[in-house]
Amino acid sequence: DAKTTQPTSMDCAEGRAANLPCNHSTISGNEYVYWYRQIHSQGPQYIIHGLKNNETNEMASLIITEDRKSSTLILPHATLRDTAVYYCIVRGAGGTSYGKLTFGQGTILTVHP
Amino acid sequence: EAGVAQSPRYKIIEKRQSVAFWCNPISGHATLYWYQQILGQGPKLLIQFQNNGVVDDSQLPKDRFSAERLKGVDSTLKIQPAKLEDSAVYLCASSLGPGTADYGYTFGSGTRLTVV
């Protein structure tokens, strides 16, 4: 599986946009980028995923670079409830890795009042 | 849509005892996963089922861990005997399965196991 690199922690002011970067330089052409978050004492929650094009849903936007080697998750107006660990994951595309989500350490996002 | 149900929510046992966790996935989800999450780390996949068959159990410590998914619906994960290092949150997740367009996992809230 392609590995991802994320900053260990980030801070953001409430109401401002939170931009969480992720590097996945070894991603292959048919592997998707997924973002999940985990709020304390809960299971991970799906946020968004994409292959090549930028994606947007009610929770966030995902910007994937043209070479697909990095991406950015954008929370447009962060709230205190967005404080969580954010995981960037490259989903396995073949063999025994097909469909699997392998989690790394993630980024601890803290939203301040 | 009902989520992934797990029980119990918390469990405290002594080392060398046995314990079992239960998971009921979202109706119609063919694929079921068990993850182990040690404090401060990301979840680690233990086993993956497709319907009632095991797809991947390469990370499951088979000398003490076992899992089954009878009839392709509910699943149980068992530890026997437990060690101190098994203290973790055990997460169950389900998905429609490979090949579906929106291939995301839905996770349960997990079972927090403390081995003393």
Give how far Cα B65 sits from Cα of A84, A86, B88, Å: 30, 29, 14
Q: Which of B31, B42, B97 sits opposite A105 (nearest CB)?
A: B42
The gap from C-alpha A85 to its chain's centroid, in whole angstroms, comes to 10
What does the pLDDT average to over B25-38? 94
* Token pair for A94: 């073949």
pLDDT in tens, B65-99: 999 998 889 999 999 999 999 999 999 999 887 65
Confirm or reject contact between A44 and chain B (CB < 8 A): yes
Those residues with Cβ within 8 angstroms of residue B53's Cβ, 6 or more apart along the chain or in another chain = none
Write out chain B residues lying below 8 Å of A45, CB-based. 107
| Residue A96 pLDDT > 90 | no
> What's the whole-number average pLDDT of chain A?
92
pLDDT attached to residue B71: 86
Confirm or reject contact between B9 and chain A (CB < 8 A): no
Contact B98 A99 (CB under 8 A): yes
pLDDT in tens, A4-45: 999 999 999 999 999 999 999 999 888 889 999 999 889 999
